[in-house]
Chains A and B, each alone.
Chain A
Amino acid sequence: SAVISQKPSRDICQRGTSLTIQCQVDSQVTMMFWYRQQPGQSLTLIATANQGSEATYESGFVIDKFPISRPNLTFSTLTVSNMSPEDSSIYLCSALAANTGELFFGEGSRLTVL
C-alpha cells in the first residue's frame, strides 16, 4: 500500500490569489492524479501528473488555472491560480499502485475562497 501526505489540509484564501498543494507518496508509484471533490459530490479528475513533463488535463481543466508539477516519482504539486469562490472545494492527490490498480488518496485539501 501507499501512504500519501498532502498539505495544506485546509486553507482560507482570498479571491485572486493562488495556492499550491503539495503531495508526497511514501513509495514509488507510476501514476499520480489530482481530483476535485465539491461538497456532496463525486470525484472529478483534474489531470494526470506526469513525471518530468507537462500534466495531462481532463476536459474543462487547463494548465493556466491548475498548473501541476511532478519532478520525481513520489512528489507532485497542484496550484490553483487566480482563485474565485467557485474554486472552493476539496482537492485530492492520488497515486496508483502499479501491481494492483488500487488508487490511494491523500487526506485532501479543503480550500475556501472568499
Chain B
Amino acid sequence: GENVEQHPSTLSVQEGDSAVIKCTYSDSASNYFPWYKQELGKRPQLIIDIRSNVGEKKDQRIAVTLNKTAKHFSLHITETQPEDSAVYFCAASDYPGGYQKVTFGTGTKLQVIP
C-alpha cells in the first residue's frame, strides 16, 4: 500500500517568514495530493491540493509543488501569520481511480512566532 513520509515533524518560524514542508510517497498509482490543516481540537480541513498532471499550484500565500518522477511534493507558505500555526498533513490518493483511499503523512506542527 501507499506510504507517505513527511518532514519536518515540527517547524518554528518568525511571523512573516516562509515555511516549507516536504513529503514523499511510494505508490506510483497515486494521482492526487491534498494538504490538510488541523487546528487544535478541530477536524482536518483541506487547504490546497494538486493533481499529477500539474507541477505547481498557488493560492494566495500557499503553494504546492509536485515532482512525480521523484515522488516528492511540498507545501510552501509565505508571509506566515500566527493563525497559520497548526498541524499540517500531506496526503496521497489514487483518486479518481483505484480505491480512492487517502493516506496521510505523519504531520508537521507549525508554530509561527509573532
A-to-B contact residues, CB < 8 Å: 30-31, 33, 41-45, 48, 56, 58-59, 92, 94, 96, 101-103, 105-108
Contact A102 B49 (CB under 8 A): yes
Contact B43 A108 (CB under 8 A): yes
For B46, the chain A residues whose CB sits under 8 A away are 102-103
- Give 12 new A-B contacts, CB below 8 A, not counting A42-B104, A42-B105, A107-B43: A30-B100, A33-B102, A42-B107, A44-B104, A48-B99, A48-B101, A92-B43, A94-B102, A101-B95, A103-B46, A103-B102, A105-B44
Using CB atoms, name the residue of chain A closest to B101.
Answer: A45
CA–CA, A44 and B4, complex, Å: 12
Interface residues of B in 24-67 (CB under 8 A from A): 32, 34, 36, 42-46, 49
CB < 8 Å neighbour of B103 from A45, A56, A92, A96: A45
For B73, the chain A residues whose CB sits under 8 A away are none
How far in angstroms is the closest Cβ of chain A from B111?
A: 14
For B102, the chain A residues whose CB sits under 8 A away are 33, 45, 94, 96, 103
For B34, the chain A residues whose CB sits under 8 A away are 101-103
B18 close to chain A: CB less than 8 A: no
Contact B43 A96 (CB under 8 A): no
CB < 8 Å neighbour of B89 from A43, A96, A102: A43
For A44, the chain B residues whose CB sits under 8 A away are 104
For B93, the chain A residues whose CB sits under 8 A away are 101
How far in angstroms is the closest Cβ of chain A from B42?
A: 8
For B96, the chain A residues whose CB sits under 8 A away are 101
For B91, the chain A residues whose CB sits under 8 A away are 103
B78 close to chain A: CB less than 8 A: no
CA–CA, A96 and B49, complex, Å: 14
